[in-house]
A and B are shown apart, each in its own frame.
Chain A
Amino acid sequence: MKEKLEAIKSEALAKIENADVLASLNDVKVAILGKKGELTQVLKGMKDVAPEDRPKVGQMVNEARTAIEAALEAKTKAINQAVRTEKMKRETIDVTLPGTKKLIGHRHPNQIALEDLERVFIGMGYEIVDGPEVEYDKYNFELLNIPANHPAKDEQDTFYINKEILLRTQTSPVQARVMEKGKLPIRILSPGRVFRADEVDATHSPSFHQVEGLVIDKGITMADLKGTLQQWAKEFFGENTKVKFRPHHFPFTEPSAECDITCFKCGGKGCRVCKGSGWIEILGCGMVHPKVLRDCGIDPEVYSGFAFGIGLERVTLLKYEIDDMRLLYENDMRFLSQF
């Protein structure tokens, strides 16, 4: 009996060992462990075994069964693994083939620069405000201390619709509109399209964008103006950016300044972008002229404020090293897709 069991076991194990597909394993399982399987037959033949030997034989049968089952399971796992490995080998792909991509659109560089700029000032508590592009002379000039016959009102620079209505030459009229509403304190940023009678060339466009900033409150100083713009420059152009203020003249601010930043290309050493000076002229600014405050209904003895105006295209051209302003208005896909 013992020999028979050993024989069944070793034969089964050998078959299992030699099986290379799951079907062969199943055959072994049926032939040995199935209802009519050899081992099952042995169990069925227990009645012929002497009662005193039965426990021992039973144990031997179970041991054989356990061994065969374990071998079956191990082999099944091994075959499955081999099959999967083989499958995966066949499935190998060229991962360097290009990805499936939709057409991707790109944001206009001017818009990217504007959004970057807005983000910084919104973080500093500025509200974005729009104003009309076709504007009254009153807001574009008169309330900004640019009286009739001022050379800045020259027809050579300004597009007029009629005597009172024109295309705004700056975003500063929004200052006057906001001040006139009388809600204080004021902390606004007003980006938008402006117009000047310049023929189109590499550095000029009859239509371009400015970003105007205005802060009015009690106790606002020129030091605050410097600090604010320095903060912006660092956020916008990088932590190491330095800012320089030079006296200048605008009719609606006094004192007025032009602001230069260290060249972001060369860091101030001098290069092609900054024409060797290490500095780049970036904006005009100043303390709001007391006459402007007064004309807009704000008492300059109580309130003071500062304003600044950034030429957006200038920032865009510098930031992306674009050498011709016309590219911004041509909308050539080969240009736009680079941003």
Chain B
Amino acid sequence: MNTPLSWIKAYVPDLDVTAQEFVDAMTLSGSHVENYEKKDKNLEKIVVGKILKIERHPDADKLVVCQVDIGASEPIQIVTGAKNVKEQDVIPVVLDGGKVAAAHGDNNEYPDGIKIKKGKLRGVESNGMMCGIEELGSSRDFYPEAPEDGVYVFPENAGVKPGDDAVKALGLDDVVVEYEITSNRVDCFSIIGMAREAAVTFDKPFCPPEIKATGNDEDVNDYVSVEVQAPDLCPRYCARVVKNLKIGPSPKWMQERLASQGIRSINNLVDITNYVMEEYGQPMHAFDLSTIAGNKIIVRRANDGDKFVTLDGQERMMDHDILMICDGEKEIGIAGIMGGENSMVTDEIQTLLFEAACFDGTNIRLSSRRIGLATDAAAKFTKGLDPNLAIEAINRACQLIEEMGAGEVVGGVVDVYPNPVEPKVLPFEPDKMNALLGTDVEPDKMLYYFDKLGLSYDKDSNMITVPTFRQDLNCMADLAEEVARFYGYDNIPVSLPRGEATVGKQPYDHMINQIARTVLEGNGFSGGMCYSFESPKVFDKLLIPEDSDYRKTVEISNPLGEDFSIMRTVSLNGILTSLATNYNRKNKIARLYEFGNVYLPKALPLTELPEERMKLTIGMYGKGDFFTLKGVIEELCEKVGLKNQCTYEPTKEHTFLHPGRQANITKGKLNIGFIGQLHPECCDNYNIKSEVYVAVIDMPTLVMLSSFDVKYEGIAKFPGSTRDLSMVMDKSIFVGQIEAIIKKCGGKLLESYKLFDVYEGEQIADGKKSVAYTMTFRAKDRTLETAEVDKIVEKILKELGKLGIELRA
């Protein structure tokens, strides 16, 4: 919403504030100013001048030398190349040392304007410059009388004289304020609404235009009848008729106000409808009565599949949820959105039908979107207008018609309004309002604000009556906000909640996440952030089979595009994409981790919320291998109380991983996650020409298994006994198998075991490898006998023997 300050001042005449004061105070009372523009910010020393004499330039064919009366004792000499000027023309002149907003003949932006200095043009002194409308920062759109190329010439009836302030004379001495109006304040999408807010904000009288009775002694009902067949979509329809139209330009003041709103003047009729739409926020439509068959307006739903040609010449497809304005035979307009080509007003119009109606905002919004036609009128209706506004607006328009002599208004209004909206009545509860706000505002002061806002108070019933244009006021809290707005949010005191103390805490799983972050960052992994939605193509990229459960996804019905269309079920793509980005940007090493959910549907199509499982996804390339990453996972497990408790089970189940280099991380039957090298084909799919290692930890499982329940066990007092085992075995045997046996047979006396050598090559037969462990045995309460230890080692060797593992000779 944009308002020129001058227009606001027209209805709040006592308002005397600077632009800055205005925007600051309006923002603090709830009309958030996003921006404001002083139209004359780069216009300085520009006066009205009258050309007294034009002579040829002695040395330049394209220049002339003018003597210009600027209201001073002597005329000044100005050299110009403009071709449109003649003697006696009244023009804007920028004097020596002044400023204009733009240059003639280029489209460059000049944020600080252009300084004008006196000088010589081809040897002849020039003491200023005559200005075109573009140089004054505007355009022919708003000043249609300006020439296409050349100096602006004031019309004869402009009422200006040499020496006058030309900026003021052109109405450029204004500020246009742009507000962010919140959706609840429908009334503020109008000049009247904003003026009312300004009047309360600055505590000045509010003087809206006085709407006078209009019309001749004829009866509009003799001209037209209105039938609303869809009252749910059209709560009110008002129609008036104007005859003997005199189409012509609208007065300068109206053109200027429309210009300030960015609306180009067309003619008095169009301008009046636009003007009233801006002034009251009520869109209106004008029909040529002669095109309306049967002099009858019918408001009804369209039929599915109907085609309709709108004012802009486009044929559009209608449906049953679109409301149409029809005459006795045919559709003539899409209600609230755009009129039809078939009832378009032309310059030949004799008799006019004005429509001011209230249409259902939601319906207009949805219809406008469905047919892909967004108009200013639709934007206004979408907000849900007050039906009582329609009658005010149509009468205002007729008043302007009469005032401007644009036609003869026929008496009476056709007003179809079966269920009039009545003002709401709310109890006046000053104590509750103060209690909510934490303030101590006097009830009288509250009533003063209400009165200025147009809310009336009845002392006997202690009730507040809310005018219908304030649809947003429905309860005590709403009224409290009105009090707060004008009492000043700044003036509300500052305190802290009292009452029962509460314990501040973070959930246990967040704490585990924090431990994981610390471990990962200590190992060179940086925290990343990835999207929750991705493309279904990801599954092919990750070589996931067609029948995999991963492909059962939650789909977004209105995604931004295929790339963001499904909720991820596997967390890897985000990190891999990020690694690819790093690789592509020639970062030699990348180590990333990410916490984020995967979304697993319980049934498809979705009938309940999917399961959201937090995954810790880790990925790296450039330095380190499988065991680097495994070490990090082991450290993480140790930090959450799972030291040496997790098993790494070799597997081939993860299609996106190297089949010989992947493992599930398990504890008992529970799967904590997986780790592995990315499948080379996957690497190709992500364009990473380096070995990539990844791990995914299922955080709910890790959180469930985590334990910080530690009891001190004492420090060993008795000596331990160490045995080294050097063994030869088939290459295919995993050390995990050996360790499982050592652990199982070692029993309570086994304190620790450590792999210290794996060797293949010379002295070891082909297909075999040598593996060496050192084991420490210890008892808490005594020194171990050699025989005891020997017995355990024998047992271990016996079990290992079953796998074909032998002691190395």
B524 at interface (Cβ–Cβ under 8 A)?
Answer: yes
Selected from A228, A247, A258, the residue in CB contact (under 8 A) with B484 is A247
Complex formed: what's the CA distance from A130 to B527 in Å? 20
A142 lies within 8 A of chain B by Cβ: no
Given A105-B520, A197-B560, A226-B494: A246 and B581 within 8 A (CB)?
no
Q: Which one of B179-187, B716-724, B737-745 contacts A?
A: B179-187
| CB of B477, distance to nearest CB on chain A (Å) | 4
In Å, the complex CA distance between A247 and B489 comes to 7
- Please give me the residue from chain B that is nearest to A191 by CB atom: B510
**Chain A CB within 8 A of B500 CB:** yes
B184 touches A249 (CB 8 A): yes
Contact across chains for B526 and A106 when beta carbons are under 8 A apart:
yes
Of the listed stretches A32-40, A80-88, A211-219, chain B binds A211-219
Q: Is B597 an interface residue (CB 8 A)?
A: yes
A223 and B494 in contact, given A103-B523, A105-B520 (Cβ under 8 angstroms): yes
Instruction: Report B519 CB to chain A, min CB distance, Å.
Output: 9
**Quick one: which of A125, A254, A255 contacts B502, CB cutoff 8 A?**
A125
- Known contacts A254-B477, A290-B476, A331-B582: A221-B507 contact under CB 8 Å: no
What secondary structure prevails in chain A residues at the interface with B?
Answer: mixed
Contact of A151 with B by CB under 8 A:
yes
| With known contacts A132-B609, A161-B554, A224-B496, A254–B481 Cβ distance under 8 A | yes
A306-B56 Cα distance, complex, nearest whole Å:
77
Task: Say whether, besides A102-B523, A247-B30, A336-B526, A231 and B496 are in contact (CB < 8 Å).
Answer: yes
Binds B, one of A21-29, A54-62, A70-78, A107-115: A107-115
Given contacts A105-B591, A132-B612, A162-B605, contact A123 B504 (CB under 8 A): yes
Chain A 140-183 near chain B by CB (<8 Å), digits 1 or 0: 00000000010110010001111001010000000000000000
Query: Which residues on A sit within 8 Å (CB–CB) of B605?
Result: 162
Q: Is B493 an interface residue (CB 8 A)?
A: yes
Q: Any chain B CB within 8 A of the CB of A187?
A: yes
Q: Known: A151-B365, A185-B502, A221-B438. Contact between A110 and B492, CB under 8 A?
A: no
Query: Contact check: which of A127, A219, A289, A330 meets B499 at CB < 8 Å?
Result: A219
Chain B CB within 8 A of A104 CB: yes
Q: Does A207 contact B (CB under 8 A)?
A: yes
* B612 in contact with A134 (CB, 8 Å): yes
Expressed in whole angstroms, the minimum distance between the Cβ of A243 and any Cβ of chain B is 9
Q: Which residues of B contact A249 (CB under 8 A)?
A: 182-185, 472
Docked Cα-Cα span, A73 to B28, in Å, equals 89
Interface size for A (C-beta < 8 A) is 82
In the complex, residue of chain B having the shortest beta-carbon distance to the beta carbon of A254: B477
Q: Are B531 and A207 in contact (CB under 8 A)?
A: yes
Residues of A within 8 A of B809 (CB): none
Report the separation of the CA atoms of residues A302 and B808 in the bound assembly, to the nearest whole angstrom: 82
Residue numbers in B under 8 Å from A332 (CB-CB): 578, 581-582, 585, 587
Q: Cβ of B88 < 8 Å from any Cβ of A?
A: no
Complex CA gap A217/B504 in Å reads 16
Q: Is A94 an interface residue (CB 8 A)?
A: no
Q: Do A127 and B502 touch (CB < 8 A)? A: yes
- B590 adjacent to A333 (CB under 8 Å): yes
Residues of chain B contacted by A125 (CB below 8 angstroms): 501-504
B521 at the interface (CB under 8 A from A): yes
Q: Is B592 part of the binding interface, using a Cβ–Cβ cutoff of 8 Å? A: yes
A334 to chain B: which residues have CB within 8 Å? 585, 587
Contact of B30 among A130, A136, A246 (CB under 8 A): A246
Closest to A159 in B: B556
A151 cross-chain contacts in B, Cβ below 8 A: 183, 365, 382
Nearest CB to that of A123 among chain B residues? B504
Cβ A246 vs Cβ B32 within 8 A = yes
Say yes or no: A134 contacts B599, CB within 8 Å: yes
| A122 within 8 A of partner (CB) | yes
Return A221 CB to nearest CB of chain B, in Å.
Answer: 3
Give the distance in Å from the alpha carbon of A165 to the alpha carbon of B506 in the complex.
28
Q: Are B526 and A333 in contact (CB under 8 A)?
A: yes
9 extra A-B contacts, CB within 8 A, seeds A331-B592, A333-B592: A104-B522, A105-B523, A107-B517, A108-B529, A162-B605, A226-B492, A245-B492, A289-B477, A290-B476
Provide a sorted-by-A list of 22 A–B residue pairs whose CB atoms are within 8 angstroms: A102-B524, A103-B589, A105-B591, A108-B529, A124-B504, A125-B502, A130-B507, A133-B532, A187-B502, A206-B531, A219-B498, A220-B497, A221-B435, A222-B492, A226-B489, A248-B30, A255-B477, A257-B489, A287-B480, A331-B581, A333-B590, A333-B592
5 smallest beta-carbon distances between A and B, as pairs: A103-B524, A223-B438, A221-B438, A249-B182, A247-B30
